[in-house]
Amino acid sequence: MTDPDASTQPDATRPDATRPDVTQPGPTQAQGVDPDLPTPPAPGRDPLRSSRAGRAWVSVVALGLVLVLLIIFIAQNTRSVTVSFLGWEGHTPLAVALLIGAVAGLFVAAVAGSLRIFQIRARVRRDQKHRPVQPR
Q: Which of 7, 6, 34 is CA-nearest to residue 22? A: 34
Distance of CA 14 to the CA centre of its chain: 49
72 or 136, greater pLDDT: 72
What is the model's pLDDT at position 112? 94
- Cα three-residue angle 16-20-22, rounded to 5 degrees: 120
pLDDT over 70 at 10, yes or no: no
Q: Is 60 in contact with 66 (CB distance < 8 Å)?
A: no
Res 97: pLDDT: 86
Collapsing DSSP to helix, strand or coil, 134 comes out as: coil
The per-residue pLDDT for 13 is 56
pLDDT in tens, 79-125: 888 988 898 898 988 888 888 888 889 899 999 999 999 999 989 88
The burial of 81, by beta-carbon neighbours within 10 Å (0-12 exposed, 13-18 middle, 19 or more buried), is given as: middle
Read off the pLDDT of residues 41-76 as tens digits, 9 standing for 90 and up: 566 666 667 777 778 888 889 888 988 888 888 888
pLDDT at 18 exceeding the cut of 70:
no
CA separation for the pair 106, 11 (Å, rounded): 72
